Structure 1
Amino acid sequence: MIAVVRHSAVLAGRSLAKPSRTAGPIMNGAVTPVLFMVLFLYLFGRPVAGSTAEYLQYLLPGALVMAAGLAGTVATGTAINLDLKAGITDRFRSLPIGRAAPLLGAVLADVLRYVGAVAIVFGVGAALGFRVHGSALAALGAVGLAILFGFCLSWVTVWLGVVVRNPDAVLAIGFVAFVPLQLGSSMATPTDTLPGWLRAWAEINPVSHVMNACRALLNGTPDTSTGPALLWSAGLFLVFCPLAVRAYSRQE
């Protein structure tokens, strides 16, 4: 197990070196959530909350969750798919490393990107006037929960990257799947203000649970969503991590 972690860390370094030549993962992971946050703040701040200052306290936790996995995670599945097509994974199989190491390495690299993206969201949010009203420990808990969810959600796109034959198809499927998760949630407005059909989806959407939990932790309000958020995270990991590793092991 220790060897697998060590090998995964080495391969994570390889994954982190790629964005130095391609700005896509950085743009998707950090810039997109900031753009959503700023645009939503000034488009909907007064209509939804009465003021941009109050709305920012509601909106930033949603952008935090978006930065910690939702915005850039499809790039991971695409990168794995490209490695499979280029034959790079055949070289990995010839090495004395665990079969899961290349996949885990890619996801660990994602986690480090999420940390950077979260820091950018907090920095921009602080410049706009966001303030943490919960304890420092609660704020760290919100960041940890968002990144944990991003880590678990990444395994969905890893699985897609392995089983789908074309990188363009990975992007297309990821877009169709993740847009309803991001926007059909409590990110921009409380779910009780949504139309009935959309409210029904938003209230069972795991992203809403994570956003609501982070919102409660950062704003120091009562929290009833952390438990469901952790259960969703565990479920995603326990289902899609074994599926991804099994599908990867069966690749010729």
Structure 2
Amino acid sequence: MNVSAAEPVVPELKPGTAAKAVRDVLVVTRRNVVRMVRIPEVLILGLVQPVVFVLLFAYLFAGSFGLPGAEGPEAYREFMMPGFFAQTIAFATASNSSVGMATDVQSGMVDRFRSLPVARGALLTGRTVADLVQNSAVVMVMVLCGLLVGWRVHNGLLRALAAFALLLLMGYALSWVGVLVGLSVRAPEAAATGNFLWLFPLTFLSNAFVAPSTLPTVLRWAAEWNPLSATVQAARQLFGNPGLSATGAWPAQHPVLVSVVWSVVIAVVCRALAVRRYRTAGS
């Protein structure tokens, strides 16, 4: 059959090509984003909760907390916002990833994807990319809420964008933890409960809401090396917000580097474990 010169020849994508893998991931991402849009109450409730927390801490508890070298409720409001950015992204990402993944396992969607000629892990990666899209929307709402309570950026737009990039990178890494949890349990309810076993220590044993220098020695060490603490410290540094740790701990002195390393390590390790678990989940 002759091909007309005016008709471009489109190369056929082979099953193992990178282009086909990217296309499969985008298809799954679109599926998850569309599902979010069609169930708006999930997204709305996910946005309302952090807003309520911000208002509570900003106007009810701000006067009860003190910061070394920065006193007053106004200073604490700026101190707390990077912590709330990190906490909100961590809770929203892990919950969405784990519960959504467990639902796919229970409904048989995982078995169906394994039977289709799609890239291995496309269902998992599409899940995490969709969560990244949702996190971006959550961050925008949180920014508006923070500005209303007095939070400000003092180091310029570029550094602020770098801070948000670190926060979203951390959220993407934690979404792989959520995917792994969702593949390891038998029901969405178990996935939701299982998240609290690691999310609460991760968020509250950190520098998100209190300065590590105020903690006992063992807890201070754990907070200084906490992955979330590195991201929060880096965000405060880039935003120019008060409350930077004055300790000599190495993560506190190099928060941007530590945040990137922690996020990459968590994402790589948990993705490898999740793909391995994906081969047998639901069967």
Q: Distance in 1 between matches of 2:74 and 2:223?
A: 24
**1:111 matched to 2:132:** yes
Q: Indicate the residue corresponding to 1:226 in structure 2.
A: 256
Q: Indicate the residue corresponding to 2:277 in structure 1.
A: 247
Question: Deviation of residue 201 (structure 1)?
Answer: 2.3
Match of 1:23 among 41, 53, 58: 41
State the identity %: 32
Q: Distance in 1 between matches of 2:240 and 2:122?
A: 38
Match of 1:68 among 83, 89, 98: 89
Q: Tell me, yes or no, if the aligned pair for 1:79 and 1:161 is still in contact at 8 Å.
A: yes
Task: Give the letter aligned to residue 204 of structure 1.
Answer: W
Q: Tell me, yes or no, if the aligned pair for 2:206 and 2:212 is still in contact at 8 Å.
A: yes
- What's the RMSD between the two structures over aligned residues? 1.9
Q: Indicate the residue corresponding to 2:155 in structure 1.
A: 134
Question: Deviation of residue 184 (structure 1)?
Answer: 1.5
Match of 1:186 among 184, 207, 217: 207
Per the alignment, do residues 44 and 197 of structure 1 end up closer, same or farther by CA in structure 2, a change over 3 Å counting?
A: farther
Match of 1:38 among 34, 40, 55: 55
Match of 1:47 among 57, 64, 71: 64
Alignment: residue pair count: 251
- Runs of 5+ unmatched residues, structure 1: none
Per the alignment, do residues 32 and 3 of structure 1 end up closer, same or farther by CA in structure 2, a change over 3 Å counting?
A: same
Q: Tell me, yes or no, if the aligned pair for 1:25 and 1:72 is still in contact at 8 Å.
A: no
Q: Distance in 1 between matches of 2:241 and 2:222?
A: 26
Question: Deviation of residue 91 (structure 1)?
Answer: 2.2
Question: Deviation of residue 25 (structure 1)?
Answer: 4.9
Per the alignment, do residues 240 and 71 of structure 1 end up closer, same or farther by CA in structure 2, a change over 3 Å counting?
A: same
- Deviations along 1:21-68, one digit per CA (max 9) or x if unpaired, are 26335523x333222222122233223243222112111111111233
Q: Tell me, yes or no, if the aligned pair for 2:102 and 2:182 is still in contact at 8 Å.
A: yes
Q: Distance in 1 between matches of 2:272 and 2:92?
A: 23
Task: Give the letter aligned to residue 91 of structure 1.
Answer: R
Is the radius of gyration larger for structure 1 or structure 2? 2
Q: Which segment is superposed worse, 86-95 or 112-121? A: 86-95
Report the secondary structure of 2:29's partner residue.
Answer: helix
Question: Deviation of residue 130 (structure 1)?
Answer: 1.5
Per the alignment, do residues 82 and 220 of structure 1 end up closer, same or farther by CA in structure 2, a change over 3 Å counting?
A: closer
- Deviations along 1:169-205, one digit per CA (max 9) or x if unpaired, are 2111111210111112111121111233432321221
More helix, by proportion: 1
Q: Tell me, yes or no, if the aligned pair for 1:25 and 1:75 is still in contact at 8 Å.
A: no
Q: Tell me, yes or no, if the aligned pair for 1:186 and 1:211 is still in contact at 8 Å.
A: yes
Q: Indicate the residue corresponding to 2:109 in structure 1.
A: 88
Question: Deviation of residue 165 (structure 1)?
Answer: 1.8
Q: Indicate the residue corresponding to 2:224 in structure 1.
A: 203
Q: Tell me, yes or no, if the aligned pair for 2:65 and 2:76 is still in contact at 8 Å.
A: yes
TM-score when scaled to structure 2?
0.82
Q: Which segment is superposed worse, 71-80 or 168-177? A: 71-80
Task: Give the letter aligned to residue 139 of structure 1.
Answer: A
Task: Give the letter aligned to residue 238 of structure 2.
Answer: L
- Runs of 5+ unmatched residues, structure 2: 1-17, 245-252
Task: Give the letter aligned to residue 188 of structure 1.
Answer: F
Q: Distance in 2 between matches of 1:54 and 1:206?
A: 24
**1:177 matched to 2:204:** no
Q: Tell me, yes or no, if the aligned pair for 2:58 and 2:149 is still in contact at 8 Å.
A: no
Q: Which segment is superposed worse, 184-193 or 162-171? A: 162-171
TM-score when scaled to structure 1?
0.92
